[in-house]
Amino acid sequence: MLEIHSLGKVYGSGERATHAIGDVSFSVDERELVCVVGPSGCGKTTLLKCAAGLMRPTSGEILLRGQAVTSPPEEMALVFQEYSRSLMPWTSVRNNVLLPLRHKDLTRAERARLVEEAVEAVGLTRFLDRYPWELSGGMQQRVAIARALAYQPSILLMDEPFASVDAQTRADLEDLVLQLRDEFDVTILFVTHDIDESVYLSDRVVVLTHAPTEVKEVVHVDLPGARDQIETKELAEFARLRAHVYRLIKREQTEEAGTSPGGRGEPLTAIDGGSGVSVEEDRSLPETADRTRRG
């Protein structure tokens, strides 16, 4: 559905040029939830802004259903990390969610219905006529999610959406995202710096290298059953995947700190159009002894 082809982004030019993104390729399939993780400062947000059509890449291209993305596509919605800044403080939750619908070709009643459905889906019906700043951080992010859903996107891009909420709220919001994905039938590209979160949410995790960013590995997450904050995280498979992603990123960080610029150690795993090497094929991983569920 969403294909990113050898995306590159350079800020500035000449000697002062910063190569934020080197060469990134991966794809997101219909109804898939793909998380992008990487060491801090690896250009995750830049990548997402390019994918959202808010920023022009220096090289490469982004295709949404085969169409090149050059400006924000209509079937795409974006949720930012800074909920308090992406909501309008001068108007109600209702009007905030209504904002992207005003220019859509809908009747008044249809707009009102979409707003109310989306707000209900995130469990904030009681707060429709409150100002966003009257709500807690987690609730404000729910408003931002409701606004994205009301827009009726087929793909949702989320930029570290839960980075500034507390752990408990974060867990609730993660489950909300999984639930909404089924309910609203959306594809999700989710950027995070939290490894647990990425493994918990994803069908696949795209692990990035440090800048100039490339795809280090695409990890397939094949966890059984519906995700559950307690049970899923108890699975040996979860622990193994988490450790694997963690090692990949840690290796990146030590490489960046330890080596001279230019030489970046071992060559990267070859990626072909996003269907990367799955963890199962990676022989370097230690087998985890306990593969059964400790319910």
Partner 1 sequence: MSPRARTATKVGLELAVPVLLLVAWQLWSVSNDDPKFPRLSSILVEFRHMWLFSQFHEQVLPSLERIAAGFTIGVVAGVALGVPIGLFRWSRIWATPHIEWWRNMPPPALLPITVILLHSIGDRQKIGFIGFFCLFPVLLNTIDGVRGIEPTLMETARSYGVSWWEAVRRIVLPGALPQIIAGMRTSLSLAVITMVLAEYFSSTNGVGYVLLISKNTFQLTPMWATIVLIGALGYGLNLLFALWERRVLAWHRGWRATTAE
- Residue 91 lies near partner 1 (rule: CB under 8 A): yes
Would you say 36 and 245 are in contact if contact means Cβ atoms under 8 Å apart? no
Given candidates 102, 108, 126, 294, which one binds partner 1 under the rule CB under 8 A?
Answer: 102
Q: Residue 94 or residue 220: which is nearer to partner 1 going by CB?
A: 94
Q: Which residue has the tokens 């969403």?
A: 2
Given candidates 60, 100, 236, 251, which one binds partner 1 under the rule CB under 8 A?
Answer: 100
Structure tokens at 39: 């060491």
- Residue 45 lies near partner 1 (rule: CB under 8 A): no
72: preceding bond cis by omega (within 30 degrees): no
CA angle 264, 22, 31 (to 5 degrees): 115
String of contacts with partner 1 for each residue 121-150, x by CB under 8 A: ----------x-xx----------------
- Residue 80 lies near partner 1 (rule: CB under 8 A): yes
- Residue 90 lies near partner 1 (rule: CB under 8 A): yes
Given candidates 41, 59, 70, 74, which one binds partner 1 under the rule CB under 8 A?
Answer: 74
Would you say 57 and 48 are in contact if contact means Cβ atoms under 8 Å apart? no
Minimum Å gap between C-beta 294 and partner 1 is 42
Helix (H, G, I), strand (E, B) or coil at 64: strand
Structure tokens at 112: 């009102």
Q: Residue 11 or residue 90: which is nearer to partner 1 going by CB?
A: 90
What whole-number distance in Å separates Cα of residue 174 and Cα of residue 207?
A: 19
Would you say 217 and 37 are in contact if contact means Cβ atoms under 8 Å apart? no
- Residue 77 lies near partner 1 (rule: CB under 8 A): yes
Point out which residues bind partner 1 (CB under 8 A).
52-54, 72, 74, 76-78, 80, 82, 84-91, 99-100, 102-103, 131, 133-134, 151
